[in-house]
Amino acid sequence: MTTPTESIAQQLATLGTSSTFATRFAIAADPHLHVDNVGDIPLPITLQTAHRLCAAAQPAHHGYKDQTRLDPRVRDTWEIPAERLRFTSPEWTAVLNRALLRIGHELGVPSPDSLRVDLHNLLIYAPGQFFAVHQDSEKTDGMLGTLVITLPSSFTGGEFVVSHQGQTVCARGSQNRLGMMAFYADCHHEVRPVKQGYRVVLTYNLIAPGATRTSELPQQAVTALASELHRVWQTPAPPRWDGDTHTEPPDRLVYLLDHQYTPSGLSWQRLKGVDAQRAAALQAAARQLDAEIFLTLADVHETWSAEDDYQQHGYWSDEQEDEDNGFDHNEDHPALGDLINSEVELRHWLAPDGSKREEISFASETELCMNRLSVDCAPFQSEHEGYMGNYGNTVDRWYHRAAVVLWPRERNFVIRARQAPDWAIAQIAEWLNAGDTIQAETRAHSLLSFWEQARSVADSDVLFTATLPVAARLDDAGIAAGLLSPFALSQLTAQQAPWLWQLLERHGQAWCAERFQQWAETHQPDTRQLAWMAQELPALAQSSCTSSDTVALLARLVQQRWGWLRQYIAQVQKYHQRSTRVSALVETSAAWLGLLRASQVTGCSTLTEQIIAMLRTNDIPLEVPLQVLHQAQKIKNLEGLHLSVLHSHCTHVLETCLAKPRRNATDWSITPPSEHGGRGLDDLAAPLLAFLASPQQQRLEWPLAQARRQLIHQFIDHHELPIRHETRRTGRPYTLVLEKTLALFERDTADRQQWKKDLAWLQRTQVRPT
Ligand SMILES: O=C(O)CCC(=O)C(=O)O
Ligand SMILES: [Fe+2]
């Protein structure tokens, strides 16, 4: 079955397909060309005239990006600018106008009788000279394409080839007539090297000024198109994956035109070939439906998988050449496999009255409709990633296309909101300020189906700050919840507390607790959550102290965060290496303190005790409570935090450690790691632990098969034991050589120094008894 979008493409395809991209014919005429400093140029051009012209000419430049360049690898020809050319034949203007009318008809220009030309230059190609494949830049507003008039002369080679979407038109010139070739500006064209003789041409910019007068469309066709458009906006898009039940109708229709356009060349009045009829048909349908309609540039970026191996290579059009490859497009392009990704950016919006809107939006796949696929257009740029890129072997292509974009007027709000969520929230806030709560709730409701994505479109923190007060003013609990659902707990700041209390008053404890739960489930980096617990949580708790309801709400939040912290700690405790484990745990110290403060302020004394108790268990390395005490120095009010308990705990542990006798200089025993003491080592555990425990044995030579050596290597690394472990690769099996290192003694000394330092700090530091 055809989808409504496909059927629109079909209907548009039947409009104005008769025109072509280039037209070529010959006329018998002589303009009586006069060139300053050369004189009259009789036709056909003789070798002698050609030599005189060359002598008076300059090498021609070509456009490169926004500059012009002289590069004979790209363009090698002589040029005489228009200022030095005159036509003295009295009939010439009429002859040219007749030719233009014919060109206008054959190119399908909407008003062929208004087509004009601007003389650009005279070009002379001597033997060997050429102009590589390129696309002309649009030199003036309204420039539609180029007209080349080949003056009669005798030459071989020098074929002029114009191509568009795989079709080509070729001209060779004539001995006694003027060769006319006119083509649209988005065509690629080249002049192949002249072999013998001279090729002399006049080039003109083809200009289509004034308004389009497209032929009247039958009313029936417009109605059919309008009804299909209506159907597009009513039909939910096909599911994107199995079980995708949330598809909605597309917001807009984005019809990609056949031709390519530049910002200055884009205008409703100067659409090329078939595009003009199709755009006119869409305009007529839009009027019937009272739909919004815009003409836009559409920058298409496609990523394809490449099927074969291929050298990295880029290529530029619009008279731009690639530094290394010149204009040579004939080298092998990689065969394209699957389309991996496609992005269509719409910009430079033109309303039917020509007024501009500078806005950028992306077209979704379900909105797109076209008769010509982008791969069938000439890419503006192409890049091949080879196997080195992120996605393996891929080809990236960029196209400068244009689109007609339409949507039902009543969807204005939603469409703009999808692209600019902060604008939508500001809009709803205005309705609320004006007392129009019904409008505010209806519009807020219309955001919910895509609101989850809003977070990735806008700066999420800014959006949250704007959304919270709006949600707090909506009566409908479901809509308020929906607006708040995409955000994360760590986005809530103490400054926003008043809105939170307002939500509490309107929707109650359970509703607010659900929001906390939802926000906690949104992914946020652990470091951000820890920082939030250290700073915002105690500040929020502090500001809750005005009423028992707000305190109760915050107490729930504190409990929830305690649950999270315990889970996080449990996860960190699974890290293998003691040093990474300890430093990750130390990173949580400020969060512990934040939680302690918040639990104290919200009167959760049992929780305060639980936290202190956990900080004193053996599972938590001493570095953590010590760091909590350090952090507490920055805080004014330590009342009720039970920090003196922590203080004495740390003092006691450090004194015990320091009371142990120092390691004897001859004692090489290593205390086996307390956790997983040899688990998983099976029969290797006993000999290894015996080696560790032995005060005398420094070295162990142990013939072991590879897998078993591996176990020992891992064990030593995980526990960061002061043992060098190497494999001697002789004999069968190889021998694992273990050797205790001096780090055993150095660590002992370093530990002691640290203990002393910490103890001295504790003794200096007063923690008020609480
Ligand atoms: O020499 C010609 O026929 C065409 C020259 C051309 O393509 C140009 O001037 O852009
Ligand atoms: Fe050109």
pLDDT digits (tens, 9 = 90+) for 203-224: 999 998 754 445 567 788 889 9
Whether 131 is in the pocket of ligand 1, judged by its Cβ within 6 Å, is yes
Percent of the chain at pLDDT > 90 equals 58
For 689-696, what is the mean pLDDT?
93
- Its pTM stands at 0.63
- Find the range with the poorest average confidence among 81-90, 304-313, 381-390: 304-313
Instruction: State the residue for tokens 């493409």.
Output: 9
Q: Are 180 and 235 a contacting pair, CB within 8 Å?
A: no
Q: What is the pLDDT of residue 180?
A: 93
- Each residue's pLDDT tens digit, 636-654: 777 778 888 999 999 999 9
- Going by C-beta distance under 8 Å and a sequence separation of 6 or more, which residues neighbour residue 75? 60, 61, 62, 130, 131, 132
Q: Are 631 and 661 a contacting pair, CB within 8 Å?
A: no
Q: What is the pLDDT of residue 314?
A: 37
* Helix-helix angle 274-289:219-234, to 10 degrees: 70
Q: What is the pLDDT of residue 285?
A: 94
Q: What is the pLDDT of residue 332?
A: 45
Whether 417 is in the pocket of ligand 1, judged by its Cβ within 6 Å, is no
Task: Please choose, from the candidates 76, 32, 33, the residue with its C-alpha nearest in 3D space to the C-alpha of residue 58.
Answer: 76
Cα of 94 from ligand 1 centre, angstroms: 24
Q: What's at 248, amino acid-wise?
A: E
Distance CA 11, CA 368 (A): 15
Average pLDDT, the chain: 87
* Residue 123 CA, closest ligand 1 atom number: 1
Ligand 1, from 139, 148, 150, 163: best to mutate by most atoms within 8 Å of Cβ? 148
Ligand 1, from 121, 149, 194, 201: best to mutate by most atoms within 8 Å of Cβ? 201
Q: Is the pLDDT of residue 244 over 80?
A: no
Between residues 441 and 243, the one the model is more confident about: 441
Between residues 139 and 354, the one the model is more confident about: 354
* Residue 203 CA, closest ligand 1 atom number: 9
- Find the range with the poorest average confidence among 16-25, 199-208, 479-488, 568-577: 16-25
* Residue 190 CA, closest ligand 1 atom number: 7
Cα of 125 from ligand 2 centre, angstroms: 14
**Burial environment of residue 373 by CB neighbours within 10 A (0 to 12, 13 to 18, 19 or more):** exposed
* Residue 60 CA, closest ligand 1 atom number: 9
Residue 619: which pLDDT band, with cuts at 50, 70 and 90? Answer: confident
- Each residue's pLDDT tens digit, 494-546: 999 999 999 999 999 999 999 999 999 998 999 999 999 999 999 999 998 88
Residue 675: which pLDDT band, with cuts at 50, 70 and 90? Answer: low
- Each residue's pLDDT tens digit, 556-602: 999 999 999 999 999 998 877 788 889 999 999 999 999 999 999 99
Between residues 655 and 456, the one the model is more confident about: 655
Q: What is the pLDDT of residue 325?
A: 34
Distance CA 90, CA 69 (A): 37
Whether 201 is in the pocket of ligand 1, judged by its Cβ within 6 Å, is yes
Ligand 1, from 64, 137, 160: best to mutate by most atoms within 8 Å of Cβ? 160
For residue 126, give both structure tokens: 């001597």
Q: What is the pLDDT of residue 191?
A: 96
Q: Is the pLDDT of residue 245 over 80?
A: no
Q: Is the pLDDT of residue 323 over 50?
A: no
- Going by C-beta distance under 8 Å and a sequence separation of 6 or more, which residues neighbour residue 450? 418
Whether 670 is in the pocket of ligand 1, judged by its Cβ within 6 Å, is no
* Residue 160 CA, closest ligand 1 atom number: 3
**110 DSSP 8-state letter:** S
- Each residue's pLDDT tens digit, 170-200: 888 888 889 999 999 888 999 999 999 999 9
- Each residue's pLDDT tens digit, 75-87: 999 999 999 999 9
For 395-416, what is the mean pLDDT?
91
Task: Please choose, from the candidates 516, 385, 5, 70, the residue with its C-alpha nearest in 3D space to the C-alpha of residue 231.
Answer: 5
Q: What is the pLDDT of residue 176?
A: 85
Cα of 135 from ligand 2 centre, angstroms: 6
- Each residue's pLDDT tens digit, 338-366: 788 889 999 999 999 989 988 888 998 88
* Residue 189 CA, closest ligand 1 atom number: 7
Ligand 1, from 76, 162, 189, 206: best to mutate by most atoms within 8 Å of Cβ? 189
